[in-house]
Structure 1
Amino acid sequence: MYDVTSFYVLYIPFFITHYALRIAQGTSNMNRITDLDVERYIYSLLPARDRVLQEMEGVAYQHGIPIIGPVVARVIYQYATLIGARRVFEMGSAIGYSTIWLARAVGDGGKVYYTDGSQSNASEAAGYFERAGVTDRIEILVGNSLDLIDQVEGSFDLIFNDVDKHYYPQVFHKAVPRLRKGGLFITDNVLWSGRVTRPAHPGDRDTAGIQEFNRLIYSSPDLLTTILPIRDGLAVCTKL
């Protein structure tokens, strides 16, 4: 069991302080998309999360596990509730932080499909789901989400994409046909610490993948796309 008690109170200010320090030292791999003072201000406004989510935030910070964090999580929760999403497919779920937010958004009788390539992540996530009281709303699938989506029949109200970045163009081609009209295709990290503004270096498949993905979502006649410049960039696409 991880010792994360101190993170229940200190996680957000501690994160912001160390983030600022790493930028000042030039050791951060993330460029600022928004002003650091703005980031700090937004985090200061956030209502406290419940104990399970706070613990997950602490674990993610301590162990370098990628999660979307509470600012982006509130956005996807808000969009899911706005469209009345009942059926959600998540591509890349890690320890299930975003999955819990989505499961709470779909409500009783809704279904969220968790996908991750790691059985260890899936097992850890299952424990969090039980403690959060959302187990009955989640189906856990272990493997490559690009393959797993073919194993689930029907259309989806919302697809959330947070897989390895060089797979993003493949996700586009898999996900868009599976959305209902009016459904949402939401993708994290589309500004990629600002690296998308420059030509990708040879061998940098992640940056090149995101750049191609962004071109696809804006040029598709099937989507209405907006990129929100929050955190590392969040693309919100409506199926037309």
Structure 2
Amino acid sequence: MFFLPQNIDDYIVAHSEDEPQILKDLARETYQKVLQPIMLSGPYQGRVLSMISHLKAPQRVLEIGTFTGYSALCIAEGMPNNSELITIDINEELEDIAAVYFSRFSENRTKNISITQKIGDAITIIPELEGTFDLVFIDADKPNYINYFHLVMQKVHSGSLIISDNVLWHGKVVEDLNPKDKSTSILLEYNQLLKEDHRLQTVLLSVRDGLTLSRVL
């Protein structure tokens, strides 16, 4: 989804850091083998996630929604030595593709970054995770965003960063609401929740399909 003219978007990509080869390869394989490859973060948003991670240098990361692993790899780029990334996805059919690229990433890094894939319902898995996380990336099924948020808030600390993807939802958040459109309805409520939660400092960025950064106070 492009909210800017295509030529402007192309210019932005051309004048941002180049997409690493491993991500180009993963994107190519995703488009060849997987339905709805547009779910990939893509080169521009991927560089934004990488930059945020480099600035934050999170020791522990939780990702909700792995898909084929593109966004996880972008975030892993900025993680320090002996750090841990846990990524959850309900689709076991995509586990092997992501695993190949996670392994390739680890083999070509001097830093020790542990990437653990968990397959199943994030609603069940998140409460079972021990400790807290410095960065959380939410990019899964939209009807559960509010549920994920409440669970995640029990796993973060002051200074943690929560990143929420697809919060503009193809522009539907500013269109007349279809009563049958549960995803848009939930996202409208979710965006308001992030704005009004006194525990957060929140800014919504018009990156790709909308990316919200929320810092835990």
Q: TM-score, normalised by structure 2?
A: 0.90
Task: Give the match for residue 15 of structure 2.
Answer: 45
Question: CA deviation digits over 1:58-93, x for unaligned, max 9?
Answer: 233344221111211222222222222110000001
- Of the candidates 181, 202, 205, which is equivalent to residue 225 of structure 1? 202
Paired residue for 2:140? 163
Q: Which has the larger radius of gyration?
A: 1
Are 1:93 and 1:116, in contact at CA under 8 Å, matched by a contact in 2? yes
Give per-residue Cα distances to partners, 1:111-130, cap 9 Å, x unaligned: 00011111221121111111
Spell out, residue by residue over 1:182-217, the C-alpha distance to the aligned partner (whole angstroms, 9 max, x if none): 110001110111100124212111111111110100
Which shows bigger deviation, 121-130 or 46-55?
A: 46-55
Q: Which of 9, 16, 25 is the equivalent residue of 1:55? A: 25
Contact 2:160 2:215 in 1 (8 A): yes
> What is the alpha-carbon distance in structure 2 between the residues aligned to residue 84 and residue 69 of structure 1?
21
Q: Are 1:106 and 2:97 matched, yes or no?
A: no
Q: Is contact 2:169–2:210 with CA below 8 Å preserved after alignment?
A: yes
Instruction: Decide which of 91, 110, 125 is 2:64's aligned counterpart.
Output: 91
Alpha-carbon separation, structure 2, partners of 1:212 and 1:118: 26
Contact preservation (8 Å) 2:66, 2:87: yes
| C-alpha distance in structure 2 between counterparts of 1:221 and 1:48, whole Å | 37
Contact 1:176 1:185 in 2 (8 A): no
The number of aligned residues is 210
Identity among equivalent pairs (%): 30
Q: What's the secondary structure of 2:77's corresponding residue?
A: helix
- TM-score, with length taken from structure 1: 0.82
Take 1:59 and 1:210, find their aligned partners in 2: how far apart are those partners?
30
Kept in 1, the 8 Å contact 2:57–2:80? The answer is no
2:98 aligned with 1:125: yes
Output aligned runs, 1:177-216, within 5 Å: 177-216=154-193
User: SS where residue 104 of structure 2 aligns?
Assistant: helix
Distance 1:195 1:128 in 2: 33
Q: How is 1:131-150 mapped onto 2 (pairs within 5 angstroms)? A: 131-133=104-106, 136-150=113-127
Q: How far apart are residue 231 of structure 1 and its match?
A: 0.7
Instruction: Quote the Cα distance in structure 1 between the aligned partners of 2:17 and 2:192.
Output: 35
Cα distance in 2, alignment partners of residues 89 and 46 from structure 1: 26
- Considering fraction of residues, name the structure with more helix: 1
- Backbone CA RMSD of aligned residues: 1.6
Matched, 1:173 2:150: yes
Cα distance between partner residues in 1 of 2:170 and 2:147: 21
CA distance in 2, matches of 1:122, 1:197: 35
CA contact (8 A) 1:34 1:230 kept: no
Q: Could you tell me how far 1:145 is from its partner in structure 2?
A: 1.6
* Residue 136 of structure 1: how far off its partner (Å): 5.0
Query: Structure 2: which amino acid aligns with 1:128?
Result: Y
Supply the AA of the counterpart residue of 2:125: L
CA separation of 1:136 and 1:40: change in aligned 2, threshold 3 A? closer
Q: Distance in 2 between matches of 1:49 and 1:167?
A: 31
